[in-house]
Structure 1
Amino acid sequence: MKKLSCALGLSLFLLAGCGTAEESTEANPAEAEAVKEVQQENYETASHETKVNGNTESNDQMTKEKAADVLSQYKDTFMEVINAGPELEEYESKEEIIQHFSTIMTPEYAESLADTYIREENGSLSVVATETPLWLREDQSYTLTEVSEEEYEVIQHINNQLRGRKEVTFTLVMEDDTWVVGKVETRNAEQEDKYKAGSDDRVEGDMNHK
């Protein structure tokens, strides 16, 4: 009888505890709303960590490795079209090629490349016989410079047998939470090297003269 009374008392205690917990939740809607807001904030923070060109990390954290990955995709996307030539029968229009380029380039730059390298005549497409753009050489040194939170520049000096020594600036911009190539600028680095060498000679001569 004593054991039965203890068991009955324990059961009543547990039931009372459960009822108290439910009453606490129902009696404090402000607390429940606060929990909901925290959960929503955590969700939004996690959502901001989106996939950028295959890498899951914060979009504003550009690195040399990520920049090289974007420029590698840029090269592959462009060469996929060029290697399908010279006659591009699998593409129905230049606009389709521009859309393909735009997966890793800004629409403006994609259109510029299509106008330079793709010929459209009598409803047919073909590749223009000319040199391809200069690509980033990952095995050689290059610099990464932040222009703004949504724009970076990758600069590299490249020795090309036909073009000579060039300084190439790849501009990467953020569009729709994705890093893409905005433009590529090339200038002659040999003239700059000669100018620097001449400046050094003049400075050395002035010092010897003194």
Structure 2
Amino acid sequence: MKKISTILTIVVLFAFAIVMVNQPDSGQAYAKQNQIHVEKNTGLKQIQVENIKREAETNDITHEEIVKLTDTFMDLLVQEIDDHYKVVRFDTKEELINAFEPYIVKEAVQPYIDYYYKEKEDGLYIVPTETPPWFEKDEDYEKKSEGNKVTITQSNESALYGMYTIEIVFKKMDGTWKIANISHK
């Protein structure tokens, strides 16, 4: 069986070679047709790559990503402390700010660190107070997308703060969503 398929393959290739030799212009026509096909495919692939990049840049942030980033923000803001309010894991504000870097831009977190933490000679201390009014993952919110930026706005009510509105801007940077700005009303 293997011999028969090998012989048939050789016969078909030989017949094809004879046909091609008898048509001298067909090689050039085939090459030109192949070049056009390659150019079309290259153009299509380039368009597809550009579309994928554009989609990646304009993809909306998911609810899960919003929750993960806002929860991470609060988890990092509320640091573990000792009996004297001294932060256990960090000695300076700069160290703490660097921990936020993969999730929040420095300009967005700096005001919170300055308000909630005091740096002393022997380390970093948290100011004993309540956490800020914050995003509630189980409540509705509005979402507005603009390219690689998404702004969410949520109105909530708490016993401590009463009615408040929080606006968080997320920005896609190097393929990763980060909190870029936070404001309260």
Q: What's the TM-score bracket when you normalise by the shorter of the two chains?
A: 0.5 to 0.7
- 1: CA distance, partners of 2:76 / 2:91: 15
* Aligned residue number for residue 109 of structure 2: 110
- 1: CA distance, partners of 2:183 / 2:33: 65
- 1: CA distance, partners of 2:143 / 2:156: 15
- Give the direction of change, closer, same or farther, for the CA distance of 1:39–1:157 in structure 2 (3 Å limit): closer
* Aligned residue number for residue 186 of structure 1: 184
* Aligned residue number for residue 135 of structure 2: 136
Q: Is the 8 A contact 2:87 2:126 kept in 1?
A: yes
- 1: CA distance, partners of 2:38 / 2:115: 60
- SS of the residue 1:125 aligns to: strand
Shift of 1:27: 8.6
- Aligned pairs for 1:114-125 within 5 A: 114-122=113-121, 124-125=123-124
- Give the direction of change, closer, same or farther, for the CA distance of 1:136–1:112 in structure 2 (3 Å limit): same
Shift of 1:89: 3.6
The equivalent position to 1:12 in structure 2, one of 11, 14, 19, is 14
- The Cα offsets for residues 129-180 of structure 1, whole Å up to 9 and x where unpaired, read as 122122222322222234x434443222222112222222223334344332
Shift of 1:125: 1.6
Q: 1 or 2 for the larger relative contact order (CA 8 Å, sep ≥6)?
A: 2
Q: Is the 8 A contact 1:104 1:179 kept in 2?
A: yes
Q: Tell me the amino acid that sits aligned with residue 100 of structure 1.
A: A
Q: Is the 8 A contact 1:145 1:152 kept in 2?
A: yes
Q: Is the 8 A contact 2:59 2:148 kept in 1?
A: no
Shift of 1:70: 2.0
- 1: CA distance, partners of 2:178 / 2:128: 26
* Aligned residue number for residue 65 of structure 2: 69
- Give the direction of change, closer, same or farther, for the CA distance of 1:135–1:16 in structure 2 (3 Å limit): farther
- 1: CA distance, partners of 2:41 / 2:34: 11
- 1: CA distance, partners of 2:164 / 2:58: 29
* Aligned residue number for residue 84 of structure 1: 80
- Give the direction of change, closer, same or farther, for the CA distance of 1:17–1:138 in structure 2 (3 Å limit): farther
- Give the direction of change, closer, same or farther, for the CA distance of 1:38–1:138 in structure 2 (3 Å limit): same
* Aligned residue number for residue 48 of structure 2: 42
- Give the direction of change, closer, same or farther, for the CA distance of 1:161–1:40 in structure 2 (3 Å limit): same
Alignment RMSD: 3.6
- Give the direction of change, closer, same or farther, for the CA distance of 1:91–1:157 in structure 2 (3 Å limit): same
Count of residues in correspondence between the two structures: 171
Unaligned runs of 5+ in 2: 1-6
Q: Is the 8 A contact 1:118 1:128 kept in 2?
A: yes
- 1: CA distance, partners of 2:154 / 2:103: 20
Q: Tell me the amino acid that sits aligned with residue 124 of structure 1.
A: G
- 2: CA distance, partners of 1:105 / 1:45: 28
TM-score, normalised via structure 1 length: 0.61
- SS of the residue 1:59 aligns to: helix
Unaligned runs of 5+ in 1: 1-5, 50-57, 188-210
- Give the direction of change, closer, same or farther, for the CA distance of 1:17–1:169 in structure 2 (3 Å limit): farther
